[in-house]
A = this chain, B = another copy of it.
């Protein structure tokens, strides 16, 4: 941490800051610039003490110099983490397609979708059992019976299952059925839930909070990792900006940037992000060209009849076209579908 003194700071003010640092048990290193004094504060976790200085006189700014996340950082682990979901590997040179309906609406539609996406090369089935909805008057999901349907679909198709959990009490229940626990954008900073998921023994798909910086996202991952669970998959799903033409702004910059900052795999959800099915194919291709390790896409046999988010769901024909374009793209990148 660095404490920048104001150019009007007195010697007494500088001395008071230095003494406060020493009281806390950290070391200082003074740098007397032309215009102002800068105090380096040395010690692993120095920035955690920044509030201790906030009311002292003569300070202009306090600047951290260490990234606050550790276990998630590329510095902690130089090699990519590859999450193994019962044989499906996420984080290497094979791109993993996860697909399925926004909500599980019934067994028939789920099986029909699962069979179709599996035949086209998807490896993971997505589907909402517990739905966090902005309005209390919207459809909230089928709960455990949806989980059972997903387990049935897994048995029949061999697809792995990813589904969202929205409450710490439900973690154990959802973990009984799912292969990957999804933590949604509204719960990225639900720390009780993060920790419970960290203790579940299951891989976690951690969606980015719609107004979270990349740093906060990696700190949320840190909550899971620090419980001993190393199988975290990050998922970019759009951030909230002033632009209203798309539901959210898919921030694909996050893909290569997260790959620089962290060893964790990153996948992209273009359905939630754009809110428009016609943008899902081009943004999927863009995500993979930018380095994403996988995609999670909403597919519905009859989007017009969907109980939630039909506007952003692909029908089977549109999904097939995406898979075919994706295969061609991956070939050009010397990669392949998982």
Contacts and interface: CB of A to CB of B under 8 A. Distances in A.
Interface of A: 2, 4, 6-8, 20, 29, 31, 33-36, 38, 40, 42-45, 48, 50-56, 60-61, 63, 65-66, 68-69, 75, 132-138, 166-169, 186-187, 189-193, 209-211, 213-216, 219, 222-223, 226, 239-246, 249-253, 255-257, 260, 273-274, 276-279, 282-283, 285-291, 303-312, 315, 325, 328-329, 331-333
A241 to B, nearest CB: 5
Interface centre among A215, A222, A253, A278 (most CB of B within 10 A): A253
Contacts of A246: 253, 257
B310 A4 contact: no
Contacts of A310: 51-52, 54-55
A55 B303 CA distance: 7
B211 A210 contact: yes
B244 A244 contact: yes
Contacts of A211: 209-211, 240, 242
A219 B135 contact: yes
A284 B193 CA distance: 34
Given A54-B304, A308-B51, A2 B285 contact: no
Given A52-B310, A68-B134, A243-B253, 7 more contacts: A34-B43, A36-B66, A56-B304, A167-B168, A246-B253, A286-B289, A328-B333
A239 B252 CA distance: 13
A43 B193 CA distance: 39
A298 to B, nearest CB: 11
Contacts of A279: 253, 256-257
Given A2-B38, A54-B277, A169 B168 contact: yes
Contacts of A187: 190
Contacts of A133: 191
A313 to B, nearest CB: 8
17 contacts: A2-B63, A4-B65, A31-B40, A33-B42, A33-B65, A51-B310, A61-B65, A133-B191, A134-B219, A136-B226, A166-B191, A211-B240, A213-B244, A213-B245, A241-B242, A246-B253, A250-B253
